Each structure stands twice: as C-alpha cells, then as structure tokens.
Amino acid sequence: MGAITIQDVRVITTQPAGARLVVVKVITSEPGLYGVGCATFTQRFHAVVTAIEKHLKPFLLGRDVSRIEEIYRMATVHSYWRNGPVLNNAISGVDQALWDIKGKLAGMPVYDLLGGKCREAAAVYGHAGGRTPEEVLESVYRFRERGYRYIRVQLGPYGGRPSKSVRPEGAPEGAYYDPREYMRNTLRMLEYVRNAVGDEVELLHDVHERLHPIDAVLFAKEVERFRLFFLEDPLAPEDLEWFENIRQQCATPIAMGELFNHPREWQPLIAGRLIDFIRMHVSQMGGITPARHVAAFAHMYGVRTAWHGPGDTSPVGHAANLHLDLWAPNFGVQEWCGFPDHVYEIFPGLPEVRDGYMYPNDRPGLGIDVNEELAARFPCRDEVEFWTQARLPDGSPARP
C-alpha cells in the first residue's frame, strides 16, 4: 500500500449545548477513512475556522497522514509567528484527527498507540455551585449521590457576586466582582462545606485568576486548612514568578495552565516544582502531540495531569483528554462538564461517566464521531461575551 494522504480538511461548527464548538474532519485518500479533532476556541471560533480553511488546509493537502510529529512541527512554524490560541486550536483539530486516523489504521485506540493503559477509567470531578454555602453543599451532595469523589465548589460566578455595588458615576456595564469580598465569602463557604462533608470528599476550587498576586498568596495560605485536592488558577499567566511566593508560604496543591499557549509558560513551573497539576486546554496547546510531551515532562518532576474539560471543549476534545488520562502514569484527575442526551446523538462515542469515572469505548482511534446532519441543526450564534468583561468595583477592566 502506498502512502495515505490528506485529501480534504473540513470544519464543522455547532452549538448544541451553550458553547460554540469547532470540529475538524480530515479526509484521506483511502475511501471511507477519516479522522476528527477538536479545534474549539469558543470566543473566537470564526478566526479558527478561517485559519483552518484559508491557511492550514492548503498547507496540508497531499501530505502523508502517518507523519503526525512532522506535520505538527511544520504546522507550528509554517506561519513563522506562532504559539497563539487561534493557530494552536487550528493545529490541534488536525493533530487530533491524525491520531484518530492512525488508530483506525492500526485497529487500536489512541491510548494503546501512546503506550497502553495505566488505568481502566479516569476519575473525574464535577462543578458544584450555588448562591449560598447551603446551596453549594446541596450541590455537593447531589454529586456524591452520583458517585463523584472529586468535586469543585464555587460560590456564585467566578469572583463571586458583590453584595453591594458602589460604582463611580458613568461606570460601564460589566461582570463586576470584589476580590476581597470574594476571598472572605469563599473561605466561609469552604469551611461550611468541609465541616459538613468531612475528609472523604476531595474538594477543589477555581480562583480563575481573579486576585491580585499578593492576595492570591494570602488566599492559598488561608485555604490550606481545608485540605483542597487543588486550588486552580490562583494567578494569571502574566504573574508566573509569584508561584514561588505561594510555594514558600503553604502546602496548598496548585493547578495551573488552561490559558497557556507557549512552552515557556509551563516549562518553568514544572521544572521548578511550583505547581502540582498541569491542566492545559489540549486544543489550546496544539493537540495530543504536544500534550503527550508535556505529560512526560511533568512526570519527571512529580507533576500530575488535570486537563481542562469544560463545556467549551467539544466532545471530541473530551475523548482526546480521556485517551491521555488512561495512558499517562502521572494522571491526577479529569474535569468533566457533562452533556445533555442530544449531544450524545450528535457525537456518537462520546465517553460516558459512571460512578465518578469516565470510561472509554475501546473503538479504534479516538472512538468518537460527529453526525454532521444533526450538528447542522444547532448553528453557532454570534454574540458578544459578557462574563469575560470582568470589572473591579471602580469599573477597572480585570482579568476574567
């Protein structure tokens, strides 16, 4: 058999459950053989679609599908400027699709291509929330009833809702929050929930980079007594040097990485043992190829994986996460958002979660597909995001 080559690259956009999703379909010269990958950057999905259709596709046509590493390397430098979220997501869609194709050709799941299973399923965590500590606890109990042992707890939206809003005259609209009030309220919530559930539930919390660096150091120190499984994104990518201050002050486990694009963002944190979990958005970093390299690198330093798995990761992306989870010796936990039934119809093979574990279906490749006809029934809607227009009490723009 001669080389199997890329004959077409198609982009599928759909919005079946809130987030705008981007899925890439790589079609080969072998009749009926194709692969799918996640390229979702929900806030800028038009830009990703254009990058794939106008730039990556002409570059890819006619290339040998077996040369995944080479294609990934060349695609990242072909534009000369590199390591941005739009290009990384575009490349990721192709990269994941090529792994899917390789698995189908081999008759093996992707986790077997990576080196085989280290576990039969991946432990997941769910998102418990509410407007009051009591509502958060009720949400935690509902997850416990479904078998979850790892549960993220959040009081209101990221940064919380300020109890009162004293804005300057003429201050613009936005997603206002008060960092200091958020800290006080969250500490009370964590104390309430921990006292109620005891130590048998692993609690997590996401700061979502809503604090000034010195406040993040204080907050990480204050939550140490609640024995979190991890504290997520206490700092923004622009404040990486502050992780050393956190490490010097407390033993709170730290997870970081969902906004990372460039290796120089994660390499120093891992090599310096300044974080405990690396949780990049696999499509944001460029796909399965760079993710497996990062997981292997992190393993050498005792850092575990906890890949980003929100609703704005497509079901194909969740499948890719699972294959990495099953293989990686340093797997920690997997974020899981859950999907309504109709999304399982659009994406046959979407991994299922039972009793707090996500299970593969053991089909070749990624084990997932997309029904384009059903996906087309849920076209993406153009809208200006509100939650990312975060503002401090005086109206100053803040990181979301």
Active site residues: 158, 208
209: its two tokens: 């980079």
Please check whether residue 103 is in contact with residue 319, taking contact to mean a CB–CB distance below 8 angstroms. Answer: no
In whole angstroms, what is the distance from residue 9 CA to residue 67 CA? 16
Q: Which of 51, 59, 58, 61 is nearest to 85 (CA)?
A: 51
In whole angstroms, what is the distance from residue 47 CA to residue 86 CA? 7
Helix-strand-coil percent breakdown of the chain, rounded to 5? 40, 20, 40
Residues paired with residue 23 on neighbouring β-strands, in sequence order? 12, 38
Question: CA 298 → CA 86, 244, 279, 330, distances in Å?
Answer: 25, 17, 11, 8
State the DSSP string of 70-106: HHHHHHHHHTSS---HHHHHHHHHHHHHHHHHHHHHH
In whole angstroms, what is the distance from residue 91 CA to residue 73 CA? 10
H/E stretch holding 143: helix 133-145
Residues paired with residue 36 on neighbouring β-strands, in sequence order? 25
